[in-house]
């Protein structure tokens, strides 16, 4: 009887041992929070958490590393002794930390996107203003190059913003801003005289003298305002014709020597009526006059002009179209030139000034840019 009981006990102990052995050999699955946390880490990395919130991201990674170490220790234990409840809690805390970090990153990206969008719109408006002004002034070469490059950078910034590459987009905006500053500085240097009250006062006196000459002698006089692109014919002190004109790319500057593509300023006379000319009909002016020769010789003495450079000549009011670029002359559309050619006799006074209006549209734009 005792032998039978002992045998039954041994059988039960054996079965229990098998059960325990089977349980110890089976690997219980890790809590789902583990896989979710590892996936979250990858999402945060792709979202750029290390850039937008580096300190918080580093704290998050340390917390995740600690949770993974805890998991590794638990997995070294025999299955029935593993405490996955604690593992679940550890990774749940990591997930909460990551969730808060994800929200912070999205907020920062949203704010940065709005900032980039606002800056880009401001720079686009500025580029458009300076581009219009540059075209109005007949600029070319370097000044136009800066504006074109700025436009390219602004387009790139928009594309990068749409792709979520905000830091690269911001870099392009900084580059565009620098290019626009260069372009604006070139425009300001070209227009520096046009913002000088003394220079405008001198031009105004020249214009008033021309109108008075027309009034006192009841004769035809031509007055040209380069900045406004206007050629006005006066008779008896009254404007009887008003034409739009074109200048060369350096036409706003006062001519000093041959090849500078500038348009001369001062009082001249029509010394020849040319037909046909290279640009249709033309009125040849007596450039250089005595004042032009004086300025040229003074500049040469100071070493500002090389000995090989001449003073130049052949300055005309001619046809060919006001939108064409001249090399220092004044260009009109052909129908306007036909009318002017018939109207103007030899010896007519032609006064050319920069501007007489200290508050003209172009200067107002530059002053607005200053603000």
CB contact at 8 A, 281 and 319: yes
- Nearest CA to 173 out of 187, 185, 155, 190 is that of 155
- pTM, rounded to two decimals: 0.66
- Nearest CA to 104 out of 63, 57, 165 is that of 57
Q: Bridge-partner residues for 272, per DSSP?
A: 284
CA 252 to each of CA 233, 255, 366: distance values in angstroms, whole numbers, following the listed order: 20, 9, 16
Mean pLDDT of the chain: 87
- pLDDT surpasses 90 at 249: no
CATH number for 196-370 (one of 2.40.440.10, 3.40.50.720, 2.102.10.10, 3.10.20.30): it is: 2.40.440.10
Structural element, H or E, at residue 167: helix 166-190
Chain centroid to CA 335 = 39
User: Rounded to 5 degrees, what are φ and ψ at 332?
Assistant: -125, 160
Q: What is the mean pLDDT of residues 110-114?
A: 92
**Greater model confidence, 58 or 327:** 58
* pLDDT for the residue numbered 286: 95
**Greater model confidence, 138 or 166:** 166
- Tokens 């006005």 label which residue? 232
Distance CA 169, CA 291 (A): 54
User: Rounded to 5 degrees, what are φ and ψ at 350?
Assistant: -125, 110
Per-residue pLDDT band for 321 (boundaries 50, 70, 90) equals confident
Q: What is the mean pLDDT of residues 60-72?
A: 93
Distance CA 252, CA 360 (A): 14
- Tokens 């540059």 label which residue? 134
């Amino acid at each position: 009887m005792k032998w039978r009981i002992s045998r039954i006990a041994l059988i039960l102990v054996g079965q229990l041992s098998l059960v325990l052995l089977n349980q110890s050999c089976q690997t219980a699955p890790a809590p789902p929070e583990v896989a979710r946390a590892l996936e979250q880490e990858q999402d945060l990395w792709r979202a750029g958490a290390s850039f937008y919130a580096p300190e918080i991201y580093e704290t998050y990674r340390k917390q995740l590393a600690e949770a993974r170490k805890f998991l590794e220790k638990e997995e070294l234990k025999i299955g029935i002794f593993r405490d996955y409840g604690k593992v679940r809690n550890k990774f749940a805390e990591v997930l909460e930390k990551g969730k808060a970090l994800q929200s912070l990153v999205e907020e920062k990206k949203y704010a940065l996107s709005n900032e980039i969008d606002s800056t880009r719109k401001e720079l686009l408006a500025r580029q458009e203003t300076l581009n219009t002004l540059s075209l109005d002034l007949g600029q070319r070469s370097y000044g136009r190059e800066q504006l074109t490059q700025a436009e390219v950078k602004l387009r790139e910034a928009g594309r990068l913003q749409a792709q979520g590459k905000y830091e690269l987009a911001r870099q392009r905006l900084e580059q565009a801003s620098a290019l626009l500053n260069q372009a604006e500085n070139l425009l300001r240097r070209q227009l520096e005289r046009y913002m000088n009250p003394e220079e405008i006062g001198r031009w105004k006196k020249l214009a008033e003298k021309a109108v008075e000459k027309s009034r006192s002698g009841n004769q035809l006089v031509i007055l040209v305002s380069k900045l406004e692109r206007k050629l006005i014919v006066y008779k008896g002190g009254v404007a009887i014709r008003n034409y739009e004109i074109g200048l060369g790319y350096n036409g706003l500057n006062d001519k000093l020597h041959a090849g500078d593509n500038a348009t001369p300023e001062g009082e001249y006379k029509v010394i020849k009526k040319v037909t046909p000319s290279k640009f249709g009909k033309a009125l040849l002016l007596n450039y250089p006059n005595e004042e032009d020769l004086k300025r040229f010789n003074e500049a040469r003495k100071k070493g500002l002009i090389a000995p090989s450079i001449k003073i130049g000549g052949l300055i005309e009011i001619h046809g060919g179209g006001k939108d064409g670029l001249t090399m220092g002359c004044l260009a009109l559309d052909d129908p306007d030139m036909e009318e002017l050619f018939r109207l103007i006799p030899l010896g007519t006074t032609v006064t050319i000034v920069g501007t007489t209006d200290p508050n003209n549209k172009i200067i107002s734009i530059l002053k607005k840019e200053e603000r």
